[in-house]
Amino acid sequence: MMKEMLRNLSKRIGLYRDLKEIRHRARWFLPREMRRRKAGVRLYSRFIRGGDLCFDVGANTGCKTELFLELGATIICIEPQRECLWSLRKRFGKDHRVVIVDKALGETEGYAQLHICEEAPTISTMSNPWMTEGRFAKDFVWRKTESVPMTTLDALINGFGVPRFCKIDVEGYEENVLNGLSRPIPYLSFEFSREFLDATARCINRLLAVGNPRFDFSVGESMCLGLDTWVEPSELYKALGTIKDDLLWGDVYAKFE
C-alpha cells in the first residue's frame, strides 16, 4: 500500500520517471548486475565487432543497447512504447551512435495496437495469444492500448543498411516481425518460450525461406549459448526437448551462411 502511494505521489509531482531512471542506474553497481553485464558482453562479442551496425528490436529501456555500445556498435533502437521511449531518449538521446525509431515492427507498414501492462511494462505486447495463453495471462492485465506506427525489417534495412546483428524481443510478436524480412542478416536472435514453441518453429521456417541459417540458443538470462555450435533445426528442437522445464524460455540465435 505504501509503495503504491509513493508511486502515485511521484507521478503527480512529475518525479516518477526520473526516480525509475535513478533506480536503474543504481542497479548497475550491484555485483549480480555487473556479472550479468560482463557475461552479456562476452556473449554478444561473438556476433558484434567495433563499428558494426545492430538493430535492437523491442529495445524497451535499452539494456541490450548498453551492451552493444560497450562493443563499439552503432545501434538502431526500435521501440513503440511511450514510457520506454522516454527512457531511451533520456539515456541515449545525445549519443550519436544510437538512433531511436519510435515504431513497432511487423509484416507490413501501417498502424497496430500495442497492449500496455502498466504493472510490468516489459510484457506489453501486440500479440493476443501472449495475453490470453501465455504464462503471464493469469497474473497480469493489459488495461491500456496505444495505436502505434508500424514498419518492417526490410524497410529498416533499406533505410539504415543490413545490420551485423539483430536482436528481436517483442513478447510473442516475433513471427510477425520476421515475416517482414526477405533477406538474410548475418546474425540475429529472437525470443522463444515453452508454450509457444509452435510459433518458434514458424519463425525458423521463415528464416529458412530467406537464406541458409544454422541455429543455437540460450536459456533465460544465462548469457551463454546452449550448444556452442551451429546446428540444423532438427538438432535445435532435439536439444530444447531435452530441457525439463515447463517455464523454459530464452533466445534462438541464427547465423546465415
Q: What is the pLDDT of residues 228-255, one digit of tens each?
A: 899 999 999 999 999 999 999 999 999 9
Proportion of the chain above pLDDT 70, given as a percent: 88
DSSP class of residue 93 equals T
Contacting residues for 238 by C-beta, under 8 A, at least 6 apart: none
pLDDT in tens, 108-147: 999 999 999 999 999 999 999 999 999 999 999 999 999 9
pLDDT of residue 216: 98
Q: In whole angstroms, how far apart are CA 242 and each of 134, 135, 191, 230, 237?
A: 21, 20, 18, 17, 9
Q: What is the arrangement of strands in the sheet containing 53-57, beginning at the earlier edge strand? A: 98-101, 74-78, 53-57, 165-168, 187-193, 249-256, 213-219
Burial pattern 68-88, b for ≥16 Cβ within 10 A else e, equals: bbebebbbbbbbbbebbbebb
Is residue 172 in a domain? yes
Q: What is the CATH number of the domain that holds 97?
A: 3.40.50.150
User: How many domains does the chain contain in total?
Assistant: 1
Mean pLDDT of the chain: 91
Contact status, residue 157 vs residue 45, Cβ threshold 8 Å: no
- Domain-located, residue 183: yes
Length of the chain: 257
Pick 178 or 15 by higher pLDDT.
Answer: 178
pLDDT, position 25: 57
184 phi and psi angles, rounded to 5 deg: -70, 150
Q: Band of the pLDDT at 4, cuts 50, 70, 90?
A: low
This prediction has a pTM of 0.88
pLDDT, residue 37, reads 87
pLDDT in tens, 60-81: 999 999 999 999 999 999 999 9
Give the SS3 label for residue 55. strand
> C-alpha cell of 120?
510490468
Whether 89 is covered by a domain: the verdict is yes
Classify residue 180: in a domain, yes or no.
yes
Which among 181, 179, 176 has a CA at the least distance from the CA of 163? 181
pLDDT in tens, 200-228: 999 999 999 999 999 999 999 899 999 98
Whether 104 maps to a domain, the answer reads yes
| Residue 127 counted as domain residue | no
Exposed / middle / buried, residue 220 (Cβ in 10 Å: 0-12, 13-18, 19+): exposed
Residue 102 has phi, psi (to 5 degrees) of: -90, 65
**Residue 118 included in any domain:** no
- Report the pLDDT value the prediction gives residue 32, as an integer from 0 to 100: 74
So what's the pLDDT on residue 34?
75
Task: Assess if residue 22 is contained within a domain.
Answer: no
The pLDDT of residue 161: 98
Q: Which structural domain, as residue segments, surrounds residue 85?
A: 36-109+147-256
Predicted local distance difference test score (pLDDT) of residue 1: 52
Split at pLDDT 50, 70, 90, the class of 173 is: very high
Question: What separation in angstroms does the CA of 45 have from each of 52, 77, 156, 161, 166?
Answer: 11, 19, 23, 20, 13
| Dist CA 175 CA 199 (whole Å) | 7
- Of 56, 31, 60, 34, the C-alpha closest to 189 is 56
pLDDT at 14: 55
pLDDT at residue 28, rounded to an integer: 56
Residue 46 near residue 79, CB atoms below 8 Å:
no
What pLDDT band is residue 8 in, cutting at 50, 70 and 90?
low
